[in-house]
Structures are given as structure tokens and as C-alpha cells.
Amino acid sequence: MPLAVVKIGGALPGHVITGPNCMPEKPMSRLLPARARRTFLAPTAKPAFATYALVVATLVATAGAGADTTDVHYDVPAAAATLPALQQRSEHVVIISIDGLRPDAIDKFGAKTLQRLMREGTFTLKAQTILPSKTLPSHTSMLTGVDADQHGITWNTDEVDSHGHVDVPTVFGLAKAQGFHTAAFFSKTKFHHLEAPNTIDYVRSPKGGMRDPMWLAPYTVSLVDDYLKKSARSPNLMFVHIGEPDFAGHLYGWMSGMYRKAVVEADAAVAELLHDATTRFGAGNFTVIVTADHGGHGRNHGSSDPRDTTIPWITWGKGVQAGATLPATVKTMDTAATALWLLGIHAPAEWVGHPVASAFTSGISVAAVRH
């Protein structure tokens, strides 16, 4: 059945908020009164209704299995080949990106799961993203370890047909080239640029168009849950994107009441992901990095304003040194470098990202058993 989207008056501001299979029993379905469930209304002077409305009449689940790819052709960087072997510190690394999450929203809105990870792990609420502080350029830097002047992606829409995939190595391709299993769950179509062929063993993302424009967290988490339960091989590197705060920020404004609810929803999704990872990998057998691509102010982001560029960077789990002091400036590019470092892989010499080694204990290693 088709997805029905109704626009009342004028052009829609920000992102379209919708996604397939947003299960009614999930918290997102309770963000609004019963008669308005699955309906997002942008604020106006009128208290009951708004100028813009998105009415999701029927939410559909995407069909088809994830794309399994093989025979990656990334070469080991020559510089890395001459370096001494790195110690592998974690068998499983999970990167969770909460789109548009401002660091000050964590405590202000009582994001309990993130607060727990901060208490039990280590973190900084002063990490920095790149310019432009937008979703696609920032995530590309997060997952390639280089700034926009190197990866070249400065636009913020799905333009794979005209620009193709990112043409610098991604953290997925470099890990896969070393024999690790990779997986990614993207909730926006623009991430197709990061799905370079033969780099991600299992990837799920919206197909695009009116039927499948983007996903809400309950659906994305359900895909992760299903994959971790059924996959014959556990991922060594897994990335999960959660979009709720960004969706709400564009429609209602960053730090608004609806943004608060979106942060709480994203926090609940992180809790579910941790549960699923613990079930698959075992308690204490994986390392998590939770971060964001950008913040925001008003109903937008992308500028050099600190509210746009400052992001959280939290790590928790295997090998993490609780309460460690992190460097004065952690950059989004450090996420990719840290993930590779945890897996025992040298980052390319041209990367500007560096492992946040001070967040982890020394002398932690794992047996090179990949299952």
C-alpha cells in the first residue's frame, strides 16, 4: 500500500518525517494524542493545527534482504604495511550516530541510556564536526577519517546517480580488506554515497521515493535486531544511524518540546541496540561509540555556530577506561580512526582523524577469532 503524505499550504520546511513500519507499540507512536498519532505538525500561532502537516496514512516495510557483498578490492595502504602490527582491543565495534543530537540535550532532557554510558564509560561533550555541519558531509568525514576537502562531499542530498559513491576509503572497506565482517544500517537515502561496492557485507537503507523516503528508529532497530539474531557471522564493525532529533529539529526547532521527545526516543533506541548487541556478542565483549554528525539551532544547522558544530562523543564497553580524560578537541574524523584502532588496523597516513587512545585501557587485546 502506498505512503500518503499530505502537505497543507506552502513548501515543507526541513526533512520529511516518516518511515516504514513504525510500530505503534513503540514510544514514537505516543508522541502525540491518539487521533494525531503518526502525524507531525509544524508549530504555528494556532495551538490545535499547523500550516504544515505530514499525515502518514499507511507505513510500509521495505522488502528484500540486505546486500551481501564479497571480494573487496581495497589495498592495504603502503605506509600501513611498513608499520608494526597493532594490538586488537575489541572483537566487535558498534558506532551509533544520533543525527542532530546536541550535547546539552543529553542532561537537559534526561537521556538515561546515554547518561549511563557516560557514567560507566568516558566521553566529551565538546567534540567537533566539520564544515559544512550537515548530515552527509559530516557522516562522510565520520566514516572516512578525512575532512570535506579530501572526500569532496559537500552536498546534503542523495546524488549517487550524478556523483557516484565516495571515492576515498571508508572505515568499512578498510576493515573488510583485513578480513573483518562489516554491517551498516542507514535511515536516510543520502547515505547511499557511503555504500561503496564490496565494502559493507550487510547494508540496509531506504530505497527512496514516496514509498520509502527515510526510516524512524523503531524500524531501523528492528532491522538490526533481526540481523543480529539471524546472521551466520557476527559483525566486527557495525554502524547504526538514528535520525529522530534531526527530524524534530527541522520541524519544531532544536531544544523544543518535540525535540526533547525525539531525543528520548533516540535514547530508547540506543538501549535496544545495546540489548541486541549484548545478546549477540555477550556482555563485555563489544565496544560502543555513540556520537552525532552535528547539532543545530532554530530549525536548521550547517553553520560554524558552536550549537551546530559541537557534538557528543561517548565510548563504552570493552577496553574503555571509565572516567578517562579525553583530548581537548575530539573531531568527528577520530571516530573512524578509533574504530580501526580498536580492531587492530592502521589508518591511512592521509587521514586527519586519530584514535582517541586515551579513552581506553592499555594492554587489552583479544584473540583473533572472527566468527
CB 114 within 8 A of CB 274: no
Q: Cell triple for residue 229?
A: 539474531
Largest pairwise CA distance in the chain: 66
pLDDT reported for residue 194? 96
* Of 93-102, 120-129, 208-217, 350-359, the least confident: 208-217
Question: Rounded distance, CA 31 to CA 53, Å?
Answer: 15
Choose between 353 and 159: higher pLDDT.
353
Q: Name which residue leads in pLDDT, 351 or 329.
A: 351
Q: Which residues of 297-318 are buried (b: 16+ CB within 10 A; e: fewer)?
A: bebbbbbeeebbbbbbbbbbbb
Question: Residue 251's pLDDT is what?
Answer: 97
Share of the chain above pLDDT 90, in %: 69
Q: How many CA atoms lie within 13 A of 179 on its CB side?
A: 6
Of 153-157, 340-344, 348-352, 364-368, the least confident: 364-368
CA distance 180 to 33: 46
Q: What is the mean pLDDT of residues 271-282?
A: 98
7-18 pLDDT, tens digit each: 323 332 333 333
DSSP calls for 266-293: HHHHHHHHHHHHHHHH-TTS-EEEEE-S
Secondary structure class of 330 (helix, strand, coil): coil
Query: How confident is the prediction for the chain on average, in pLDDT?
Result: 81
Residue ranges per structural domain of the chain = 78-359
Cell of 307: 550549537
Beta-carbon contacts of 291 under 8 Å, excluding residues fewer than 6 positions away, are: 95, 96, 97, 98, 127, 142, 311, 312, 313, 314, 332, 335
d(CA 220, CA 243) in angstroms, rounded, equals 10
Q: Which range (101-115, 199-213, 261-275) has the least confidence? A: 199-213
- What does the pLDDT look like over 162-205, one tens digit per residue? 999 999 999 999 999 999 999 999 999 999 999 999 999 999 99
In the block, residue with C-alpha cell 518535540: 258
Fold classification of 78-359 (topology level): Alkaline Phosphatase, subunit A (3.40.720)
251: number of CA atoms within 13 Å, CB side?
A: 26
Please report where in the chains the cell 543529553 appears, as a residue.
106
Q: Which of 49-53, 56-60, 249-253 has the highest mean pLDDT?
A: 249-253
| Residue-level pLDDT at 96 | 99
Give pTM, 2 decimals.
0.79
Closest CA to 352 of 119, 94, 121, 144: 144
Query: How confident is the model over 280-307, as a mean pLDDT?
Result: 98
pLDDT score of 80: 53
By CB atoms closer than 10 A (0-12, 13-18, 19+), residue 367 is exposed
Percent of the chain scoring above 70 in pLDDT: 75
Distance CA 241, CA 97 (A): 5
Give residue 179's identity as a one-letter amino acid code. Answer: G
Omega before 47 cis (within 30°)? no
pLDDT at 327: 83
The answer to whether residue 263 scores a pLDDT higher than 50 is yes
